[in-house]
Amino acid sequence: MATSIPVLIVDDLPQNVMALEAVISDVGVEIITALSGNDALRQSLKHDFALILLDVQMPGMNGFEVARLIRANPKTSHFPIIFITAGMKDLLDQIEGYETGAVDYLMKPFEPVILRSKVKVFKELYQQRKVIEQFYNNLEQIVEERTTELKEANELITKLAATDELTKLFNRRFFNDRLPTAISAARRHSYPLSIIMIDLDHFKAVNDSFGHSEGDKVLKTFADILREMIRAEDIPARWGGEEFIIILPLTNCDAAEAMAERIRVACEIKSESMHGMSASFGVAELRNGENEDSLIKRADDAMYQAKKEGRNRVVRG
């Protein structure tokens, strides 16, 4: 709840201002004064008033003009205005006062009890408004926090759905979703695209000799090698078991073959930590009119050719 409840008193006569201050000084509001219409407008931009007590008959800019300008400003249009004047006995003047946006008026001389009662009402309304504003501010913050949490959760779910649990590379489903898009982009922009199919040699022997936990370590180590060797735009995935596959955008067959050779050499360098494991590679570049199934089959056939020729080598499809 607000600690300060500002009320603006506007009158060109200081003695009138002092009289109003004396009446409402113990109501529990912060009294701010203005001796002209221009001063009142300046004060209205500085404070969020619970109420404005506004004299009508002022030189330069009268109360009606001040009220219209306050109502016209979106920042101040919600301020309640009560006219306090001796010059609104005529019904037309009273109607004009309401048309300018005033909520009430008091004729001089007025009963102090009535003024105090009205100020208390608007003080309570102000406090209630602040409580509601605070509630909605808190609600907006909660909604924003929950929206952020939901977005992060959805991003995590999406990432998990696309990621191989063991190696943290992309999984086969994600690869199958991305390859047609990559092929379409390559054809649209007329740039080359290649893939590399990889199979770890004699992987079953590692599982049989050292257990599946050691086999899992080998798969993780090889996945780390792929992450270190490929580019940011490449898409590496675990194809299944001990097989891996990589999409290489903007890459012709020569460059893809060179990439495969670098990965093969890196695998040899880390062979000791992989129980002597090596890998066989099949490379294929996208051809005109070829679909993803044909491209994958050529890379897969080339990989099996590498195995037939003695493993631990790269073969182009």
For residue 182, is pLDDT > 50? yes
- For 114-124, what is the mean pLDDT? 93
Look at the alpha carbons of 57, 58, 61, 63 in this order and tell me if their dihedral is positive or negative: negative
User: Nearest 5°: phi and psi at 248?
Assistant: -120, 90
Residues whose CB is less than 8 angstroms from the CB of residue 152 and which lie 6 or more positions away in sequence, other chains included: none
Name the pairing type of β-strands 193-200 and 81-85. Answer: unpaired
Average pLDDT, the chain: 91
pLDDT at 100 over 90: no
pLDDT of 86 reads 74
pLDDT at site 1: 46
Segment 4-18 mean pLDDT: 94
At residue 89, the pLDDT reads 57
pLDDT at residue 317 is higher than 50? yes
Residues annotated as part of the active site: 242
Lowest-confidence segment of 19-28, 47-56, 149-158, 202-211 by average pLDDT: 149-158
- Quote the pLDDT of residue 41: 95
Domains of the chain and any CATH numbers: 6-134 (3.40.50.2300), 172-316 (3.30.70.270)
Q: What does the pLDDT read at residue 2?
A: 47
- For the residues of 156-185, what is the DSSP string, one character each? HHHHHHHB-TTT-SB-HHHHHHHHHHHHHH
Greater confidence, 103 or 165? Answer: 165
The phi, psi pair for 314, rounded to 5°, reads -115, 130
User: What is the tens place of the pLDDT at every residue in 276-297?
Assistant: 899 999 999 999 999 999 999 9
Output the six-digit token pair for 136. Answer: 């909605």
209-252 pLDDT, tens digit per residue, is 999 999 999 999 999 999 999 999 999 999 999 999 999 999 99
pLDDT value of residue 122: 93
Report residue 102's pLDDT band, with 50, 70 and 90 as the boundaries.
confident
Helices 91-99, 63-72: inter-axial angle, 10-degree rounding: 20
The pLDDT value recorded for residue 92 is: 57
Q: Which long-range contacts (CB under 8 A, 24 or more apart) does 250-255 make?
A: 250/191, 250/192, 250/193, 251/192, 251/193, 251/194, 251/285, 252/192, 252/194, 252/285, 253/192, 253/194, 253/283, 253/284, 253/285, 253/316, 255/194
- Range in 66-80, 149-163, 182-196, 266-280 with the lowest mean pLDDT: 149-163
The pLDDT of residue 79:
94
Using pLDDT thresholds of 50, 70 and 90, give the confidence band for residue 51. Answer: very high
- Closest Cα to residue 170, out of 162, 178, 159? 162
Contacts of 58 (CB under 8 A, 6+ apart): 10, 11, 12, 36, 37, 66
- Mean pLDDT, rounded, for 99-111: 81
Is residue 110 within 8 Å of 20, Cβ to Cβ?
A: no
Exposure string for 85-123, b = 16+ CB within 10 A, e = fewer: beebeeeeeeebbeebbbeebbeeebeeeebeebbeebb
Per-residue pLDDT band at 200 (split at 50, 70, 90): very high
Q: What is the mean pLDDT of residues 35-51?
A: 94
The candidate with the shortest Cα–Cα distance to 220, out of 238, 245, 235, is 238
Q: Which residues contact 187 (CB under 8 A, 6 or more apart)?
A: none
What is the DSSP secondary-structure string of 108-163? SS--HHHHHHHHHHHHHHHHHHHHHHHHHHHHHHHHHHHHHHHHHHHHHHHHHHHB
